[in-house]
Structure 1
Amino acid sequence: MIGEEIEVLYEIDSTNEFLKKNYKSFHDGAIVVAIKQTAGKGRMGRSWYSPEGGLWYSVLFKPKIHLNLHVYTKIFSIAIIEVLRKLKIKVYIKWPNDIYYSGKKICGILPEAISVNNRVVAIVVGIGLNVNNDIPPELKDIAISLKDILKKKVKITYLLDSINKHAWNLLISYRNETENITKIWKKYLVPREGDKIKVNVNNEIVEGTVLKISEDTLYVDVGGKAIGVQSIHQIID
């Protein structure tokens, strides 16, 4: 189960970094929650603003059967989407793994592998969800919190429990059928296959049609030529 073992820390640099350093001390499914992070991080080493009021936590997995990191990303993306949609919040996954509401980021997911002698011994999945925290003025155009959407505070323990239970059920149901996880993940994705999008290729903005979506690449048809897009920051909103 996820969350049978839980450690809550008031302030820490990063829950992912904490678990990566201390994974031997925790069981499979353990979670570490921070009231606030001083060095929260997102994909590609980017910083993640993590003040008090948000849900900042990491989950540790010590799987007997190795699953690709992308599977964990998809499972938690789906779990978060479906829990928030029960609250009537129409969120979506902005490829590959950010959760957005009305063009603004509300949640990020960061999976990381721990390897010893080139063998993966554990997986850490970090979740950063804006819940009751205030969004600073300089980020209001690109980020939003649940409190701002619902005009009221949300119980963080409810979200933590609901997301983890749903993620665990998805993992148990689909760990031997990861192609089905991908199908569900694609259902909530923006953009989708067949959508027309604008992308930045070698500092030139071009328009094309999404041909195929994988975990780390969007294949876009631009004038009959397939171009691989590998960063969310290449997509022009």
Structure 2
Amino acid sequence: MPFDVERYQMLRRSTALGVRVRHREVTESTMDDARAGASEGDLPGTAYVAAQQTAGRGREGRSWVSEPGAGLWVTYFLEVPPPGALVSIAAGLAVTDAIEATAGLECVLKWPNDVQHSGRKLCGILAEATTVGGDSDVMEVYLGIGINLRTPEGMPADVLAIATSIEQEGRPAPAREVLLAALSSALEVRLRTLASEPERILEDWKACLVTLGQRVRLSLPGGATVEGDAVDVEADGALVVEIDGERRAFRAGDVTQTRAVD
């Protein structure tokens, strides 16, 4: 069904985030829509939603399957104080809040920003940040969030092995208006907490992070791979891995969890 902006506005409880929403039935990428909107004068807090993306993307330039009616595909245009890297952490927590509130499904987080249920990916988050006109005190962040509501027919087996959806987990998929209203409210709360109590966001993140306490294999940008025990995260979100008795911090990469640390 078409996105009902009026219904969304009636449900929304946020006071700044998602107050303005721009919807398209089909677009290449809501991330691109947000960048274009910002360049044309849209205000921070605007949400860009689409029923279908033909060129949706995730981390490391990967494509993101965004079939019509299968999920909530949204990008928020934000202006926040640095460091922008922590925005994706707050966003992961907000997504878990919104999914639990609207679908009754408890989710966990896998480093750096995958929302999971039953060990499979339910939501992906992509944050792209730039400074505003050389001002180091303000960052523009384009926060893309893709939540799987339903699993399209004919999905390849390799995708089904690593991805899931709210319906696939046995819960009715909430309407996109309902989920977006809950997400806008939850994200606004989490971002306010990030601005005032960043340590609280990190504590909540660590509590949801199933990567900690696991033996992990980390695939790094450039193709290198390391293996060790995920023991902690740093204040900027870096994953601390103990490798042969030495602790190293990693700020990018893909994690495969192999087993719990003995």
Q: Does 1:169 align with 2:189?
A: yes
| 1:111-163 deviation digits (Å, cap 9, x = unpaired) | 11244554455221111110134161341111111111125332111110001
2:50 counterpart residue number: 34
1:153 counterpart residue number: 173
Aligned 8 A contact 2:108 2:208 in 1: yes
Q: 1:112 aligns with which of 128, 135, 138?
A: 128
Q: Does 1:81 align with 2:96?
A: yes
The AA in structure 2 aligned to 1:156 is R
Mapped partners of 1:43, 1:178: distance in 2: 24
Mapped partners of 2:184, 2:18: distance in 1: 7
Point out where structure 1 has 5 or more consecutive residues left out of the alignment: none
1:59 counterpart residue number: 76
2:245 counterpart residue number: 224
Point out where structure 2 has 5 or more consecutive residues left out of the alignment: 1-15
Taking structure 1 as reference, are residues 167 and 153 closer, same or farther at Cα in structure 2, changes over 3 Å only? Answer: closer
Aligned 8 A contact 2:90 2:194 in 1: no
Instruction: Give 1:82 shift.
Output: 1.8
| 1:26-74 deviation digits (Å, cap 9, x = unpaired) | 11211110111011111111111111121001111134xx132222212
TM-score of the aligned structures, taking structure 2 as reference length: 0.79
Instruction: Give 1:231 shift.
Output: 4.2
Mapped partners of 2:106, 2:141: distance in 1: 29
Query: Which secondary structure does the structure 2 equivalent of 1:226 belong to?
Result: strand
Mapped partners of 2:187, 2:225: distance in 1: 39
2:150 counterpart residue number: 132
Sequence identity (%) = 26
Deviates more, 1:216-225 or 1:43-52: 216-225
Mapped partners of 2:126, 2:242: distance in 1: 29
RMSD between superposed Cα atoms in Å: 2.3
Instruction: Give 1:183 shift.
Output: 1.0
Mapped partners of 1:81, 1:163: distance in 2: 9
Query: Which secondary structure does the structure 2 equivalent of 1:100 belong to?
Result: strand
2:25 counterpart residue number: 10
Aligned 8 A contact 2:231 2:242 in 1: yes
Size of the alignment, in residue pairs?
232
Q: 1:23 aligns with which of 10, 33, 38?
A: 38
Mapped partners of 1:126, 1:3: distance in 2: 13
Q: Does 1:44 align with 2:44?
A: no
Mapped partners of 2:171, 2:196: distance in 1: 41
Query: Which secondary structure does the structure 2 equivalent of 1:77 belong to?
Result: helix
Query: Which secondary structure does the structure 2 equivalent of 1:211 belong to?
Result: strand
1:97 counterpart residue number: 113
Q: 2:164 aligns with which of 134, 144, 147?
A: 144
The AA in structure 2 aligned to 1:58 is T
Structure with bigger RCO (C-alpha 8 Å, 6+ apart): 2
Aligned 8 A contact 1:51 1:133 in 2: no
Mapped partners of 2:177, 2:151: distance in 1: 15
Instruction: Give 1:83 shift.
Output: 2.2
1:210 counterpart residue number: 230
Instruction: Give 1:236 shift.
Output: 4.1
